[in-house]
Amino acid sequence: MKISINSVHFKADQKLEEFITEKVNKLVSTYDEVIGSEITLRLDNSSNMENKIMEIRLKVPGNDLFAKKQCKSFEEATDVALKALRKQLGKHKEKIKP
């Protein structure tokens, strides 16, 4: 499965990319029909402490699954977004079950 990580207006360090890749692979290992994922990391220009925005799009047959979360750190945003995607994957599995 292909994982694409894009950071907008900054360079994500290798440690962060490895963390995200590891977490996404762990989620995908439970559901083998995931084709790929696109991850976008962005910094919000507000003075708010929660200025790290993460968007994850999982490509699955049919409709893509999407989660967008804003937190104090990218690691926290990753965990929250993947929790939401885990829930969406469960619903998706139920829908396609014969």
- The token pair at 66 is 């999407």
Q: List Cβ<8 Å contacts ≥24 apart for 38-42.
A: 38/4, 38/6, 39/3, 39/4, 39/5, 39/6, 40/6, 40/7, 40/8, 41/5, 41/6, 41/7, 41/8, 41/10, 41/12, 41/16, 41/74, 42/7, 42/8, 42/9
| This prediction's pTM | 0.86
The phi and psi torsions of 37 (rounded to 5 degrees) equal: -145, 145
What domains are there in the chain, each with its CATH number? 2-96 (3.30.160.100)
pLDDT digits (tens, 9 = 90+) for 46-57: 767 778 899 999
pLDDT at site 49? 72
pLDDT range class, residue 98, cuts 50, 70, 90:
low
pLDDT digits (tens, 9 = 90+) for 32-82: 788 899 999 998 877 677 788 999 999 988 889 999 999 999 999 999 999
